[in-house]
């Protein structure tokens, strides 16, 4: 069960609530009109004398009418604006839209503890040219707004304003220095056509060089499990069956962003940009809002145990 769920997108149950209110008010208004009409007819026929108490009192309000200040049906179960006060969340939007202009810089090898890897990459794109780096920034910004609305301090590793990167080791260090309570790196996959779904990448237990994940593998798994549940619920997407064991959780020890973290951290691959059906979701702004909600809710559930 989600803790402090975020309110659903507009257009959900508001229409149903209005219909119920109108159904309750129309009969009451009609009854009042009949009472007024009958009194008017009596006076017009020569009826005089002081009005009775029943003729001057207003009809009692309908029990179905909403009371002032009552929560609407679309209110969250726990909407306290400070629900995440004191929590630090780092969102790591994968890649960078400017990486493509700096091929030499992002190709530089960096130490990830167990071996070396490229500083960063350009990421993938849909067949129509929608870049992963644009997708990750959009979803990250939406998730940031949701988390900040609940009091969290949200920091980005990059917001598309740097020349390139940062490198994968720097992304990990950013979360470490922020003493983040949770870090989520947002991505989209570039698998083959026909391979669909999302998955969460968890840090493997590694110890070597500058890498030691022994203290964060268990909390990172809990974070990943919360994300898996909330993302499934919010987007309706299924866990990818082309990686790992089909559970939607995939453990890897070859990613610098995970190897070098000292705080709970996971990657989420929100879908496959190279599959036409997944790409239709990833390029849709409404679906990206649901994806952001799934990420924000998963982080919230993790932070509250």
Closest of 176, 274, 187 to residue 231, by C-alpha: 187
The DSSP code for 158 is -
Q: Domain 88-303 classified CATH 3.40.630.40?
A: yes
What pTM was estimated for this model as a whole?
0.77
Residue, of 42 and 84, whose pLDDT is higher: 84
Share of the chain above pLDDT 90, in %: 71
The rounded distance, in Å, linking the Cα atoms of 37 and 23 is: 22
| pLDDT band at residue 184 under the 50/70/90 scheme | very high
Separation of CA 235 from chain center: 9
Q: How many other C-beta atoms can be found within 10 angstroms of the C-beta atom of residue 167?
A: 21
pLDDT at 244: 86
| pLDDT band at residue 305 under the 50/70/90 scheme | confident
The per-residue pLDDT for range 117-140, each reduced to its tens digit, is: 999 999 999 999 999 999 999 999
Residues with a known catalytic role: 269
Q: Residue 275: pLDDT above 90? A: yes
- In Å, what is the CA distance from 292 to each residue of 62, 151, 173, 178, 281? 40, 17, 24, 22, 13
The rounded distance, in Å, linking the Cα atoms of 133 and 72 is: 38
The per-residue pLDDT for range 190-230, each reduced to its tens digit, is: 999 999 999 999 999 999 888 999 999 999 999 999 999 99
Write out the DSSP string of 39-82. HHHHHHTT--SPPPHHHHSPPPPPTTSPPTTPPPTTS-SS--TT
Order of strands across the sheet with 153-156?
153-156, 88-93, 182-189, 265-272, 199-203, 249-252
Closest of 231, 221, 238 to residue 292, by C-alpha: 231
User: E-assigned strands of 141-248?
Assistant: 153-156, 182-189, 199-203, 207-208, 211-212
pLDDT at 208: 87
The rounded distance, in Å, linking the Cα atoms of 197 and 207 is: 31
List the Cα angle 118/136/255 in 5-degree steps. 30
The rounded distance, in Å, linking the Cα atoms of 278 and 293 is: 18
Residue spans per domain, the chain:
1-73, 88-303
- Residue 118 tokens read as 């490229």
What value does the mean pLDDT of the chain take?
Answer: 81
Q: How many other C-beta atoms can be found within 10 angstroms of the C-beta atom of residue 16?
A: 11
pLDDT at 43: 33
Share of the chain above pLDDT 70, in %: 74
């Amino acid at each position: 069960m989600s803790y402090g769920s975020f309110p659903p997108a507009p257009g959900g149950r508001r229409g149903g609530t209005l219909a119920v209110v109108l159904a309750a008010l129309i009969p009451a208004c009609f009854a009042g009109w009949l009472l007024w009409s009958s009194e008017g007819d009596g006076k017009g026929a020569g009826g005089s004398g002081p009005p009775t108490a029943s003729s001057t009192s207003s009809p009692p309000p309908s029990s179905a009418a909403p009371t002032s200040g009552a929560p609407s049906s679309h209110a969250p179960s726990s909407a306290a604006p400070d629900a995440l006060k004191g929590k630090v969340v780092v969102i790591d939007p994968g890649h960078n839209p400017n990486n493509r202009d700096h091929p030499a810089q992002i190709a530089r090898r960096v130490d990830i503890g167990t071996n070396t890897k490229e500083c960063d990459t350009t990421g993938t794109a849909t067949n129509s040219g929608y870049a992963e780096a644009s997708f990750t920034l959009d979803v990250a910004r939406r998730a940031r707004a949701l988390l900040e609305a609940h009091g969290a301090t949200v920091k980005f590793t990059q917001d598309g304003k740097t020349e390139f990167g940062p490198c994968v080791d720097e992304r990990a260090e950013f979360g470490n220095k922020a003493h983040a309570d949770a870090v989520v790196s947002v991505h989209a996959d570039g698998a083959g056509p026909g391979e669909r779904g999302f998955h969460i990448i968890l840090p493997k237990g590694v110890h070597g060089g500058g890498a030691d994940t022994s203290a964060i593998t268990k909390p990172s798994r809990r974070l990943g499990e919360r994300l898996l549940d909330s993302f499934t619920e919010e987007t309706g997407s299924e866990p990818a069956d082309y990686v790992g064991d089909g559970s939607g959780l995939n453990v890897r020890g070859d990613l610098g962003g995970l190897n070098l973290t000292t705080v709970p951290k996971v990657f989420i691959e929100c879908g496959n940009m190279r599959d036409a059906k997944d790409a239709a979701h990833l390029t849709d702004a409404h679906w990206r809002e649901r994806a952001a909600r799934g990420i924000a809710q998963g982080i919230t559930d993790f932070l509250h145990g």
